[in-house]
Amino acid sequence: MLSYLRLTLKADEILIADLAQAAELRCVQGSVWLASNQHSADIVLNGGDQHSLAPGHLLLEGQAELHFSGEALNIRPYFKTLRRGSR
């Protein structure tokens, strides 16, 4: 069965997630920077872009509406708000 998770990532947030199964990530609007322990290079997705993700740890930053999809989707997201300009 195909499962979906829709998230809105705000400009001052990062998303840290563990992905238990392979999934597709679609950036519906905005843009997002993605780093994964399964990819050697960072990835930037803009509105309309889609990328296949292998199971593993993800770090996403940007301002975007995101849709994850996959068979038996099992993703544990954790949001962290960034403090900008504090010393």
Full pLDDT tens readout for the chain, 87 residues? 788 999 999 988 899 888 888 999 999 999 999 999 988 899 999 999 999 999 999 999 999 999 999 987 887 777 777 776 655
- For residue 62, the model assigns a pLDDT of 95
Instruction: Name the CATH superfamily housing domain 2-79.
Output: Jelly Rolls (2.60.120.10)
Written in H, E and C, the secondary structure of 15-84 is EEEEECCCEEEEEEEEEEEEEECCCCCCEEEECCCEEEECCEEEEEEEEEEEEEEEECCCEEEEEEECCC
Q: Break the chain into its structural domains and give their ranges.
A: 2-79
pTM of the full structure: 0.84
